[in-house]
Structure 1
């Protein structure tokens, strides 16, 4: 059995760790509330914008199709891996890394794959295996539509220039504080949607249908990337809050166990001392 000094040191260490994990849980819970409200309010708009764009795109002829919808033979793929800058979030970052490796080994096996990392954690691991096209770490310091739009514009231009034939987003979709789903989402080219001849869209377009589509497509792509980053941001805080909650519970359980061992050791030490005193006194009497 460990001596009393070692047990006291371990109890102090575990108690300090428990205070840190508890504080991190509260911080993540506060940030999660704001991030969750943002993604919940954004989703209906983003989904309706995509639905409107797909409805209009389905009615365009081939010669009217957007440059962002050009279907080419896939030789070079860019995977945009969205992770966090900090750890202690359970399997949040690990799941993204596994998903990227799965795409490279299964879905796009034999293709020329590059990775763009958004977040430090994915870059630290994936840079050992893949060619990193670009790494963005500071976007979470000010996660806004305007800042994300700059990144989206760069990706759109590289696709138009023919640098990549397909661009895929990999991120954690926020479900709730305890659940995040890894998503593989095609960013470019725009996923074609077949028109339903039974549905008649009787709209009056002002300006022309083509001008509306050309205006909506860049905006929709920027919103798609912004939604993915907002989803990931909320998922990160949910995952970290859950991980720190479990860590706090484990630290509490370990501390209680150590206290019990300490009390048993202390009681055994006191008992031994009493026995020694009684034995000494008995020897003097004899």
Structure 2
């Protein structure tokens, strides 16, 4: 016969877990809305600045116009690896870590070092003994552009000095509340997009196109790293909300199963007691 006390304690424990996961779901939902707004608000600016850089690059002479546009033989790669500081976000952390490790395998033979943003990614890189150039943890849920500038400065300085020949960013792209996609996106050298004929506008640059490009490209790198970090945060909060919702549903289902088991065990205990009473009466008779 099942232990009624043990089942009662287990039901109580599962109900407490459901309360916690429900509260975490509500917190994540609140943070998710703000993170989505911040992450999506920067996309139009990112698209427009990419278009302007494409026009500037064409006017100023392409790779000769700025060192951040120079393509050279790839002898070393840098990856800016962006992950959450906390877990409880479903498969999001595992997906981005696996995507980055798969990328390293594809580049087998080429040394790779990392700028790690987020504790979960840092743990994996240390465990797999990867070369870490810099680490940034505790950025919080609402980082500012100023807080991400040290990352951009390391990226730009190492690329300009020739310490690395390519820079990639690994992050979780926000697609929808239910879908977050691990992405590795090339950051440097900047590859200007091709402008469609209907969007090809002749700009007048002061003092000249090369000077404007020189000041715009570092700002583009800074903005892009900041934007991708915001997208990663939006993905994290969305994944956490969904994970906590699923955990709450599973806890409620388990509570129902345990309650049914408890009722059956209790009924079995009552039936046994009744049979003992009836047997005792029969024996006395």
- When normalised by structure 1's length, the TM-score is 0.94
Question: What's the counterpart of residue 249 of structure 1?
Answer: 249
Gaps of 5+ in 1: none
Cα deviations by residue, 1:97-150 (Å, 9 ceiling, x for unpaired) = 1011111101x1110111221000011112122122221102226501111122
Is the 1:58–1:194 contact (alpha carbons within 8 Å) kept by the matching residues of 2? Answer: no
TM-fit CA distance, 1:182: 1.3
For the structure 1 residues 14 and 103, does the alpha-carbon distance in structure 2 shift closer, same or farther, using more than 3 Å as the test?
same
**Aligned-CA RMSD value:** 1.8
TM-fit CA distance, 1:204: 2.0
Is the 1:15–1:255 contact (alpha carbons within 8 Å) kept by the matching residues of 2? Answer: yes
3-state SS of 1:172 partner: strand
Cα deviations by residue, 1:74-112 (Å, 9 ceiling, x for unpaired) = 011111110000001001110111011111101x11101
Cα deviations by residue, 1:141-177 (Å, 9 ceiling, x for unpaired) = 6501111122112210111111111110000011121
Question: What's the counterpart of residue 95 of structure 1?
Answer: 95
Question: What's the counterpart of residue 121 of structure 1?
Answer: 120
Is the 1:59–1:195 contact (alpha carbons within 8 Å) kept by the matching residues of 2? Answer: no
TM-fit CA distance, 1:251: 0.5
- When normalised by structure 2's length, the TM-score is 0.94
3-state SS of 1:241 partner: helix
**Equivalents in 2 of 1:261, 1:246: separation in Å?**
23
Is the 1:64–1:210 contact (alpha carbons within 8 Å) kept by the matching residues of 2? Answer: no
Question: What's the counterpart of residue 19 of structure 1?
Answer: 19
Gaps of 5+ in 2: none
TM-fit CA distance, 1:196: 7.8
Deviates more, 1:189-198 or 1:83-92: 189-198
**Equivalents in 2 of 1:158, 1:201: separation in Å?**
34
Question: What's the counterpart of residue 158 of structure 1?
Answer: 158
For the structure 1 residues 200 and 184, does the alpha-carbon distance in structure 2 shift closer, same or farther, using more than 3 Å as the test?
closer
Aligned residues: 284
Question: What's the counterpart of residue 212 of structure 1?
Answer: 212
